[in-house]
């Protein structure tokens, strides 16, 4: 794809086509193992603005063996559409057959994980290791593409390290093998989640492919960051992961921001959700967790979800201290009521959080001036997924 040399040239694309699949928005929910489960996807969809959600990565062999864990990861319902299932594995036949299962299950596309730096994935030749073996990977992809009617996409990082930025070459080879789109996290495997997302790296992938859409990814935590990624890379879509934990409203606000007409004073930024709205959605999230996982497991899983919402509440240590022990729906209600009482001390006469207690705005790594040289500010969730 040939791009104009100047940034800020691209008109904002308002839909995206993955092969035969037309999506109503070009904003995507990134797969986040342990988080992008059915309840979270439903929360995001109910708020709106997202074009396609993806499951956590699913081990192809586990899916073939119909392991309960794999089946739970692909659990869905009509309100959870359109849905992509992300697969990982290095055995071509297993990936092919798992893609067939995903299609039969109702997925509108299958995504291949090529960018996962977790040791257990790299060890078996999947994830980032795939980026170093082009011919073998292209053959694996071709087998999947030929086996299903739905589009097959691939998600990658820029490469192994700064000396091996293989993503453009890989994207081109995958396009020839039949993938309908590529998702690119603008960091190398070596970077992990540190350093800056390199928009120039994503742009090189856009320039390398002939026709397929390239979806940019990494550190998009505000509508302005999404727009910067569109403008500077020429990508067709933007995929958002951790930004959606902080803020499931990010898709809706980004669409409004990018599609809105600029005024003399610039592009109007849609307002942040109110505190009451944040609490409403948090409670809805718990209800969905309980519906899908049962009260005991749902509450336990919710212990790592609620503190992400609380990061945007202002002072929240009283809430976090208690919510990480929540065991029932009734108990959550008590925790919330206690917190609302405690939080009053930080409010002004109008019931709004006093300015000095408001959380600092989130800033994507690539939106900071180089001289700022600040530590990475966007949190990476703890737990079994620490090594992502």
Ligand X SMILES: Cc1cc2nc3c(=O)[nH]c(=O)nc-3n(C[C@H](O)[C@H](O)[C@H](O)COP(=O)(O)O)c2cc1C
Provide the binding-site residues for ligand X, judged by CB under 6 A. 30-35, 56-57, 86, 113, 115-116, 155, 185, 217-220, 240-243, 380-381, 385, 388
CA 116-235-74 angle, 5° bins: 40
CB of 135 to ligand X, least distance (A): 22
Calculate helix-pair angle for 275-293, 38-47, nearest 10 degrees: 140
Nearer of residues 153 and 335 to ligand X, judged by Cβ: 153
What does the alpha-carbon distance between residue 159 and residue 95 come to, in Å, rounded to a whole number?
Answer: 22
What does the alpha-carbon distance between residue 229 and residue 331 come to, in Å, rounded to a whole number?
Answer: 42
CB of 241 to ligand X, least distance (A): 3
Number of C-beta neighbours around residue 158 at 10 A:
30
Which positions are catalytic? Answer: 116
Nearer of residues 96 and 155 to ligand X, judged by Cβ: 155
What does the alpha-carbon distance between residue 126 and residue 90 come to, in Å, rounded to a whole number?
Answer: 5
What does the alpha-carbon distance between residue 227 and residue 11 come to, in Å, rounded to a whole number?
Answer: 10
What does the alpha-carbon distance between residue 76 and residue 42 come to, in Å, rounded to a whole number?
Answer: 9
Nearer of residues 172 and 189 to ligand X, judged by Cβ: 189
Which residue, judged by CB position, is nearest to ligand X in the bound state?
241
CB of 21 to ligand X, least distance (A): 19
Q: DSSP string spanning 323-386?
A: HTT--SHHHHHHHHHHHHHHHGGGB-TTSPBPGGGSPPPP--GGGS-GGG-PPP-S----STTT
Q: What is the dihedral of CA 251, 289, 381, 99, to 10 degrees?
A: -70
Nearer of residues 59 and 336 to ligand X, judged by Cβ: 59
For residues 231 and 12, is the Cβ–Cβ distance under 8 A?
no
CB of 310 to ligand X, least distance (A): 17
What does the alpha-carbon distance between residue 149 and residue 154 come to, in Å, rounded to a whole number?
Answer: 16
**What are the beta bridge partners of residue 113?**
155
Nearer of residues 85 and 208 to ligand X, judged by Cβ: 85
CB of 332 to ligand X, least distance (A): 23
CB of 102 to ligand X, least distance (A): 15
Nearer of residues 53 and 212 to ligand X, judged by Cβ: 53
Q: Residue ranges of the alpha helices (H) in 105-183?
A: 119-123, 134-147, 167-177
């Amino acid at each position: 794809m040939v791009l104009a040399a100047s940034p800020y040239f691209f008109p904002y694309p308002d839909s995206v086509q993955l092969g035969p699949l037309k999506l109503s928005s070009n904003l995507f929910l990134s797969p986040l193992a342990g988080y992008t489960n059915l309840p979270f996807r439903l929360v995001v969809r109910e708020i709106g603005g997202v074009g396609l959600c993806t499951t956590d990565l699913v081990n192809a062999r586990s899916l073939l063996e119909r392991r309960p864990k794999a089946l739970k990861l692909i659990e869905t319902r009509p309100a959870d559409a359109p849905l992509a299932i992300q697969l990982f594995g290095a055995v071509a036949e297993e990936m092919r057959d798992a893609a067939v299962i995903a299609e039969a299950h109702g997925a509108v596309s299958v995504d291949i994980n090529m960018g996962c730096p977790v040791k257990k994935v790299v060890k078996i030749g999947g994830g980032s290791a795939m980026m170093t073996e082009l011919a073998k990977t292209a053959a694996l992809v071709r087998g999947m593409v030929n086996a299903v009617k739905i589009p097959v996409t691939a998600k990658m990082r820029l490469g192994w390290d700064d000396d091996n930025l293989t993503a453009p070459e890989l994207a081109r080879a995958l396009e020839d093998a039949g993938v309908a789109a590529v998702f690119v996290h603008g960091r190398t495997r070596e970077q992990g989640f540190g350093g800056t997302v390199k928009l120039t790296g994503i742009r090189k992938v856009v320039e390398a492919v002939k026709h397929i859409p390239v979806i940019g990814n990494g550190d998009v935590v505000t509508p302005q960051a999404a727009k910067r990624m569109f403008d500077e890379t020429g990508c067709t879509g933007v995929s958002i992961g951790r930004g959606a934990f902080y803020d499931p409203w990010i898709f809706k606000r980004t669409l409004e921001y990018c599609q809105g007409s600029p005024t003399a004073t610039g592009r109007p930024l849609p307002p942040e959700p109110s505190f009451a709205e944040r609490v409403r959605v948090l409670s809805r999230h718990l209800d969905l967790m309980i519906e899908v996982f049962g009260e005991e497991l749902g509450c336990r899983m919710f212990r790592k979800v609620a503190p992400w919402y609380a990061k945007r509440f202002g002072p929240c240590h009283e809430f976090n201290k208690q919510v990480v022990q929540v065991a029932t729906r009734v108990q959550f209600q008590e925790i919330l009521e206690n917190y609302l009482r405690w939080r009053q001390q930080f409010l002004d006469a109008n019931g709004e959080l006093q300015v000095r207690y408001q959380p600092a705005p989130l800033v994507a790594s690539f939106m900071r001036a180089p001289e700022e040289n600040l530590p990475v500010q966007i949190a990476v969730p703890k737990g079994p997924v620490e090594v992502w």
